[in-house]
Amino acid sequence: MAVKTITIDMEAYEKLALEKKAGESFSQVIKRILGSRVMTAEKLLANARSLSFAEGTLDRMEEIVKDREADLVGAPRLEGA
């Protein structure tokens, strides 16, 4: 397996070391902590099924999409887009 050397400051090292379990490598700690944050299509779909919106939200989203199609330059931007 290929490896990559990184540099972290002492504060980051100490925090990482506190998370480390017996027999666990630092790579395993990082993957354990950050691995669950990776969004896969499967996770996105599972989360989407559990969403609920305030009344009118989906209608407003549809309006925004239609506005964008009609005027790509002046259309309102969705948050985070």
Q: Are 52 and 61 a contacting pair, CB within 8 Å?
A: no
pTM of the model: 0.45
Q: Count of domains in the chain? A: 1
CA distances from 34 to 29, 58, 78, 81 (A): 8, 32, 27, 24
* In a domain? residue 9: no
* Cα-based angle 42, 45, 48 (whole degrees, multiple of 5): 150
Residue 44: band (very low, low, confident or very high) from pLDDT cuts 50, 70, 90: confident
Domain assignment of residue 80, yes or no? no
- Do the domain assignments include residue 39? yes
Q: Give the tens place of pLDDT for each residue, 56-81.
A: 998 999 998 888 887 766 656 666 65
Would you state the pLDDT for residue 43? Answer: 81
Q: Which domain holds residue 66?
A: 31-75
Give me the helix-helix angle, 10-19 and 26-35, nearest 10°: 80
Whether residue 50 lies inside any domain: the answer is: yes
Residue 20 has pLDDT above 70, yes or no: yes
* Residue that wins the pLDDT comparison between 60 and 44: 60
* Whole-number Å distance between alpha carbons of 67 and 76: 8
Residue 11, domain member (yes or no): no
